Every structure is written in structure tokens, then in C-alpha cells.
Structure 1
């Protein structure tokens, strides 16, 4: 008998509905998607005898294809699950976005899967038992008993519509893991223990120092430090690319999002007097760049893709007025109907009176008279969600000064963008425009002194007052050097992509009137 064994664990996470290597806004090829990942999976299976494949959550939501499949073709098998079945996944874990369509839709999707969905800390409020039935699984691989425990971020009630999660208790993942890891080791006799946690790290994996507000949303570090007996921690949710690091001896990996990379863990085990022990473990990320997509996965999803493309080009609403962008720089110099529309949708969804947003790219075309879903995703190109932060008047002014730094100081010639927003890459998405306040930016003044008027409800903004402001999740986390937002109270989160919110607004209202109240402008002396 061979007393050495190699096991390879492959992880996908935060696929977010991406099967085809495609940007749906431009219809151009992109280095993403499950079809490309499939080619890597098949290659790994050819090269290694013992391979486990686990999805770590946020599989079924995020692209027009995924949205169309659930909203308009729900009578057919879900294409993401069909692809996962074809790839013979061993297990999946629930991500937060699995709940975006409610538990009825989710349970229907679970029934279609040929693999178990694991979650130990999603409990039935009435019984205290795992809500979806299976907290873990035991898989025997080459004689090794592998325990796989599923955990999901317990922060979901802070984002999700209450009706979508009725009856579910979101227990603490660390305390839950302590209970089940002991059970798997002592009762089930697991030789190898893998935790797949749809969550990330609130602390630096190397130093343990907090890297974000310690809300409990991302407890990966605590799982490694406080739970004895974990060999490998598969993570996700934050869309980070992490590999090659151990925390307290626990190997971690996180494979980004959209199918950009495949997480790979290689474990060497040795038989020691009848019990297998891990003697070496490494993790890495396999990129899909340049990888040919797997034809069987493309073929399996082709009819869904054709229907999605047709739907993308079908008008979903009508605009009375003009929301076309003809000059992106000019659009950032004074209030305009497109930005006002996006801000007003954000305000209506969250029921707050102040909002900010950006035009993400100079290629953003604006919205034509007859709006299609493709027009929406061509303008709102990022899979952002919304957060409402409670900030001070001083925070608001500081944020506006940060945006005002987008322009070079005016010297009498052409208005130009500051090099700091162009290098090393264009960052037009870091210039925000606001609704619900009145303000003037004077670009003749030095950076940091450009907000020459700032009012709310007809009165000067109180620098020590508190204001609830809706913005995208990237900005709310301080992205783009908006450090004034970091660690501010989160009043509300909306987990649905903004592009979906905009589309839903057109579907509900049919006709939208372009308005512009000219609440802000850029001037120069």
C-alpha cells in the first residue's frame, strides 16, 4: 500500500453569473467566465488523480445572462447549475447573492444541482437546525476521509430584503465552526478538514491588524486563529486574489471574481499508523488569461445566451428628453440629466435625500431615447451595489474636495483633468457628482480649497451635523482615496447590482423624463 497521497482542491468563488468570456456592455471578449475556468478544471483533472472541486458562493447572480435566466426563463434549468453539474462539482456553499431572488427561487435552483449545498451557520429559526439541511459532507478520496464544512457570512441581514431570508437565522461562523470542526474530527474521523467560507478577511492575513471596520462581515482571520483543526480555508466575497499564505498554520486562498482565476490547493498526505496526516500544503491561483473556453460549456449555455442577447437589445423603457453623453468632460462640469437620473434612482431605492455617483468611463455613451438593457450595462459597467453611510458635514465637504481635485488648477486655457486621475491608469470613476445638495467647485483655487458653496435644504451644510448619503459600495469602503468614508456607520445596504436597479426602474415606469435641476457646477475665475 502507498503511504503517500496527493489531493488537489480547486475553488471557484464569486463567479457572479459569468459563463461566457464576455463584457455584456460592449459585447467584447473579456478574460472571465466559467467556460474558461472549465478548461483549467479539465486540465487539472487530467494531470492529477485526486481532485475536489468546490464553489464558494455567489454563483447564480451578476450578469444579464444570470438575471434573464431567473427572471424570464425560470421554467428552464438554471444555466449556471447546468454548467456546474457538467463540471461535476463536489459541493457548493451559499454566498450572500444567492438570496437576492428569495428562498423559493433558491430552493428551486438547489433541487437542480447534482451536488450538495453546504451551510452550517444558516439555521432554521424555529428548530435551530441547518436551514438547508447539510452543514458538511465527508468525501473519501484515495482512502483519505475529507471533511468539507460550509459557512456563509452572517452579515447578510444587513443587506438583504427581509422577505428573501424569512425564517433563517444567520449564526456566527466562528462559533459554528468550532462546533462542527470538532464533530468532523472526533465523530466523523476526518483526516483532512477543509472549510469553505463565503467571507473574507477584516484583518491583514500577515499582521492581524484591522484593514476595515470590524463588523463581523469577514471573519476569515478569526476562523484561522480561533478554530482548532482546520487544514485549508477557502474564502471569497471580497473579490480579492489571495494565495500562498498561511494564518496560524491554516492555508488560505481566494480566487477573485467573475472567473478570472481558479483557486488551487495542493496537499501532500502521509499515512502514519493508519491515519492520514497533511505533511505539505500550498495554494496558488490559475489565471484564465489566454485560456480557450471549453466548448461543451459554451454549447450547454448557448440557447440561454442567444435569448439574453435578444433581450439585451429589446427596449425596456423610453426617455422623454436627452440623456446622451456627447462630451464626457463637459458632463462633469455641470449637472446633467443622466447623472441626476442615476442619483434619483439611488435615492428612491434607499429612501434617502442625498446621493452621489460617477460616470465611470469616457466611453460611457449615456442613454438613448429607447433604452435597452445593453444601454444600461454600457453605462453602469461595474457590479456595484449600494450603501447608505452616515457622515458629517465635514466628511461631505472633504469628499467634494477629493472629487474637485479631478481637475488641474485652471490657468486660463483649456480645462484639463489632473494627471493624478489619469496615471498610472484613468480614474474617471473617482469623480463623483451629487444630488440632494447644492454646491459650486471653483477650479481656479488650489486643491483642497475648491468648494466655495455647499448647501442642503437651502441652508449651509453644518460641518458637525450628520447626513445620510447613498453611494456605491466601492466608494463607501473608501475606494478612490475617499478615506473620509472609512469606518463610518453603515445605515443601509442594497445588495442588488445598480444596473439591475436602473433596469427595474425603467421596467416599472416605462417612460422616464430627463430632468436637470442644476444643483451643482464647476466654475473658474
Structure 2
């Protein structure tokens, strides 16, 4: 008996974060990523392969000035990200944690405007117990009879980061238990030949050896999905912004296409039909780099007007810096107090009324402020839509948080303070190193982890373990984000619902001049006598 064969191409984007055009919002230079470049890859592959599916794995609606401008300044216009995804004929999208950043009404508008379904089987409406947008999965049946089930899952850790009002009435269930139910349903009830799980989350273990790579909090459970849920053929992952392909876990083909449209994930599935059922014969994942493709002019034209409006808004002048607030070395800015960090902490204290503050330098691209500050400089430096929260901490909690932040460093062979490997791999986590204001402290990196806070004072007196203090920080950290468990579930003194971008812009506009200064209230040392 002759056998029929089929080649199915699965294409995946993840963590686009609103990056459409291949230009930097900081300085307008050309960059080698963005959905416009990815679009050119998609078009070419569709020409070459008749059976092609396209899935977005979450975190597409937030992350650039373009998306911020649409969400916070001019949301009556059609959503530019959704317009591009509709143009590209996505088959489905999965809810990422950042989809909730601008609130449920904004997310609902995006879903309503989408020509494709949004999937998340474990994100439930508390009232009905059903998936938030009614779609736990979709089934694509090709003209040759092949049935492909696509199940969407979202990291259940969202409540640890997101503002409560943005996820009111939503319940985030365990992705593993959810997957067990729905994968079996797709296989046994819906008779799917292939089951693809698209999970907005990453891997908690080393892919090759299975060793734990982070605290097992439940934020990332990709490895466990492959081990504990039978019947998955392909697992699309994200959230960690890693570039992962050409590997398997427990027989499951996996892919993670980094972030910002730097890669397109491609999975090639070879199938053979025998006894009226299709069987998977071979599966291979790979990443296609966007930088080698020219941007798609159709996508560029589609967002041209929104981009022009955003650029005009970005160039609005707000005020001036007296002194130097530029960051020339991000490493130095984390080792020695920098005027930009001092400004952010003092602004947080000013708007909240708290006496103690902490903040982070989010990445190594943060440029600081030039002499004249525009909206472009603010959104380039403060890249997340964070709000502020004042929580009540005991002295022991503050010490524990400082010990956690001190794990960011290690000593190299020459005794120099450098970044720990865990904060660079498997992905950069510079945003999990905090710098504090309102206390005086010293971190000695020559000491063992957990014993590095060698000085911790306030107004010249040691912090008492039992004394309570009001501390302001962004909502991500206040929820324990970044494995700061000592900050979780603390009494909330005040929630400030205005985003930091708006707070910074309003403050600079009101003051007109801000001063670049430091008070040197903290230091990092390698233990050498100075």
C-alpha cells in the first residue's frame, strides 16, 4: 500500500514587545530586528511551503514607545501591532504576562480587533471558570485531512507582577495540570494527529542535563511540561527571551525565538499517513535570523502614520539637567552611585512620601539623560510600564533584599567585582540588581553569599531587625519579582497607579531643571583595604 506524506511548517514569534520597525527609538539608527523584517521571512516561507501555521507566543502588545503612545496617549486609533498581525494572517496568539500591563479594557480592545483567536487554557474568568477569551485551543484541519491541535498556556506567575486591578476577576491555573487535561482532550476526543503547545513561559532547568537553573517558583515550567505531560509533539516557549532550537526534551521538539523579532522560530514536521491516520515521522526546530532580511515595505507602510505620531510625541522637550546624568558605563553605574539612579530613587520618594527607595538599571542599553530631556529619553531609559508601591518592611527584610541583590556580583581571578554568571545566563537579568536610597550600606563581595551586607544603617544607626520601615519600589519588585521572596505579601501602605514614565515626565516638566548629584550612601567593595 502506498503511503501519503506531508510536510507541515510551524512558524513562531514570541516576546515581540511592540518592535515592528527596524529602527532604534533612542537614536533612529537601523537595527537588525523587528516584525517588519520577520514578515519578509514569513512571506518567503509561505511561498515555498503550502502547509504553514503562524503563532505568536505572547508579549506582543507592550514594550516600545509606539505601543506606549497607542495605549496611553492615543488609543482611539487602531492598534498598530494587531494591524500588522492581521496583515500577516496569524493563526493564533497566546496571552503573555505583559498583555495585561495596560489593563483589561485595553487588552479586550486588542482581542476584539484581532482576526485570529487568543489562547490561554489556564487563564480563566473567575465567574464562569472558562478561559478568559473562550479559546483554550484551536484545531487546524488541512485539506489533506491532517488535524493539528494548538493549545495556549500562560505563565501562572502573573499575579506576582501585575497590578491587581489589571487582573481582577482572573484566575491563573497550573499550566501542567491544565495541559494534562487539554492535551489528552485534543488527542482522544478531538482526534488530533499533531498537538502543539504554545506556552508563554520558559525553562526552569538546563535543557541538556535537567539541572535546575533558577529557583523552582513556577514562573517557568517548560521542562516539567515536557516531562510530565504526554502527547505533546512541539513546545513553543518564550518569556525568557532566549534563542533555543534544534533540541528535544523527553522527545518533545522545542523552540524559543528570543525577543523583539530577532529570530523567527521554524519547526518542520514530516508526517506519513497510514491506516487513515497521520503519524509524525520527523521533527526539527531552527531559528531564522531577521537581520539578514530586508524589512517588508507593506508592514512599514501599515504603521507609518502611527510611527510619525509617536516620533513627534517623543521629541517633545520637557526640561533640562544641570550637570551630567549620562550613563557611559552601566557596569560602573552599578558599582558606584550614579546621578541617574539617584534621581529615580529620589523621585520615587518624592511622589510616594516614603523615606526609603530602591530601583534598578534595567539593562546595559540605558543611556541616562542628556542636558535637554524629551519624552524619547524617558521611555528609552524607563522601558517598563511599572507603577509604584509603598510596602512595609522590617529591618530584616531590607537586609535580606540587599543580600539578594548582592548575589549579582562575584570576584574574578584578579579580585575584581564582576557580574555573576547567573545574572547573564541563560538570559541577562540586570534588572534584578537594586540600588537603594534612604539607607547607608556596604556590600562586600569577598564575603560568602548571604553575608555580604557588612554595613546597614539609617541616620547613623544600625537598622533594627524588628523595626518597620516604609519603602517605595516598582510593582514588579514589590510583588517579589526577581526571586525577592522576602518582599512578597508585605503590608501595602500605598499604591500609585500612574506609570513611572508619566511620573518622571510630569516631574521634569514641573521642575524644568533637575540636578545631577549623588550622596554616596552605598558602596560595593571587593574586601580590599582602602
**Is TM (by shorter chain) over 0.5?**
yes
CA separation in 2, counterparts of 1:311 and 1:98?
Answer: 23
> Counterpart of 1:210 in 2: which secondary structure?
coil
Q: Is the 8 A contact 1:376 1:502 kept in 2?
A: no
Partner of 2:510: 511
Alpha carbons of structure 1 residues 457 and 225: separation in structure 2 relative to 1, 3 Å: farther
Compare 25-34 and 515-524 and name the one that shifted more.
Answer: 515-524
Q: Is the 8 A contact 1:439 1:520 kept in 2?
A: yes
- 1:506 is displaced (CA, Å) by 3.0
- 1:376 is displaced (CA, Å) by 1.9
Partner of 1:186: 188
Can you list the C-alpha shifts for 1:92-122, whole angstroms capped at 9, x where unaligned?
1111111111111111111111111112111
Partner of 1:357: 360
Aligned counterpart for 1:301 among listed residues 280, 284, 303: 303
Alpha carbons of structure 1 residues 486 and 362: separation in structure 2 relative to 1, 3 Å: closer
CA separation in 2, counterparts of 1:362 and 1:38?
Answer: 26
CA separation in 2, counterparts of 1:245 and 1:401?
Answer: 31
Partner of 2:173: 171
Q: Within 5 Å, give how 1:492-507 maps onto structure 2.
A: 501-507=499-505
- 1:358 is displaced (CA, Å) by 3.9
CA separation in 2, counterparts of 1:516 and 1:267?
Answer: 58
> Counterpart of 1:81 in 2: which secondary structure?
helix
Aligned counterpart for 2:278 among listed residues 251, 276, 279: 276
Q: Within 5 Å, give how 1:433-448 maps onto structure 2.
A: 433-439=435-441
Q: Within 5 Å, give how 1:81-230 maps onto structure 2.
A: 81-141=82-142, 142-230=144-232
Alpha carbons of structure 1 residues 75 and 454: separation in structure 2 relative to 1, 3 Å: same
Instruction: Return the TM-score normalized by structure 2.
Output: 0.81
CA separation in 1, counterparts of 2:186 and 2:467?
Answer: 52
Partner of 1:368: 371
CA separation in 2, counterparts of 1:352 and 1:173?
Answer: 40
CA separation in 1, counterparts of 2:57 and 2:489?
Answer: 25
Q: Is the 8 A contact 2:378 2:505 kept in 1?
A: no
Alpha carbons of structure 1 residues 324 and 228: separation in structure 2 relative to 1, 3 Å: closer
CA separation in 2, counterparts of 1:109 and 1:209?
Answer: 39
CA separation in 2, counterparts of 1:372 and 1:72?
Answer: 16
Partner of 2:68: 67
Partner of 1:491: 488
Alpha carbons of structure 1 residues 165 and 206: separation in structure 2 relative to 1, 3 Å: same
Can you list the C-alpha shifts for 1:201-257, whole angstroms capped at 9, x where unaligned?
112223333211111111212211121211111111111111122112111111111
Partner of 2:269: 267
Q: Is the 8 A contact 2:480 2:487 kept in 1?
A: no
CA separation in 1, counterparts of 2:316 and 2:441?
Answer: 38
Alpha carbons of structure 1 residues 273 and 64: separation in structure 2 relative to 1, 3 Å: same
Instruction: Return the TM-score normalized by structure 1.
Output: 0.81
Q: Within 5 Å, give how 1:270-349 maps onto structure 2.
A: 270-315=272-317, 317-318=318-319, 321-322=322-323, 324-325=325-326, 335=337, 337-345=339-347
CA separation in 2, counterparts of 1:41 and 1:81?
Answer: 16
Contiguous gaps of at least 5 residues in structure 2: 491-497
Q: Is the 8 A contact 2:385 2:501 kept in 1?
A: no
Alpha carbons of structure 1 residues 358 and 101: separation in structure 2 relative to 1, 3 Å: closer
- 1:322 is displaced (CA, Å) by 4.4
Q: Is the 8 A contact 1:34 1:259 kept in 2?
A: yes
Matched, 1:49 2:46: no
- 1:434 is displaced (CA, Å) by 3.2
Can you list the C-alpha shifts for 1:317-373, whole angstroms capped at 9, x where unaligned?
43575463497699788755422122235566797824143496698352435x312
- 1:465 is displaced (CA, Å) by 9.6
Alpha carbons of structure 1 residues 75 and 331: separation in structure 2 relative to 1, 3 Å: closer
CA separation in 2, counterparts of 1:213 and 1:333?
Answer: 26
Q: Is the 8 A contact 1:25 1:381 kept in 2?
A: no
Partner of 2:14: 13
CA separation in 2, counterparts of 1:300 and 1:391?
Answer: 50
Q: Is the 8 A contact 2:387 2:499 kept in 1?
A: no
Compare 52-61 and 345-354 and name the one that shifted more.
Answer: 345-354
Alpha carbons of structure 1 residues 268 and 385: separation in structure 2 relative to 1, 3 Å: farther
Alpha carbons of structure 1 residues 458 and 397: separation in structure 2 relative to 1, 3 Å: farther
Q: Is the 8 A contact 2:386 2:474 kept in 1?
A: no
Partner of 1:413: none
CA separation in 1, counterparts of 2:130 and 2:407?
Answer: 51
CA separation in 2, counterparts of 1:433 and 1:98?
Answer: 28
Can you list the C-alpha shifts for 1:467-519, whole angstroms capped at 9, x where unaligned?
97958989x999xxxxxx867545279xxxxxx94421134444245475614
CA separation in 1, counterparts of 2:453 and 2:312?
Answer: 46
Q: Is the 8 A contact 1:120 1:149 kept in 2?
A: yes
> Counterpart of 1:41 in 2: which secondary structure?
helix
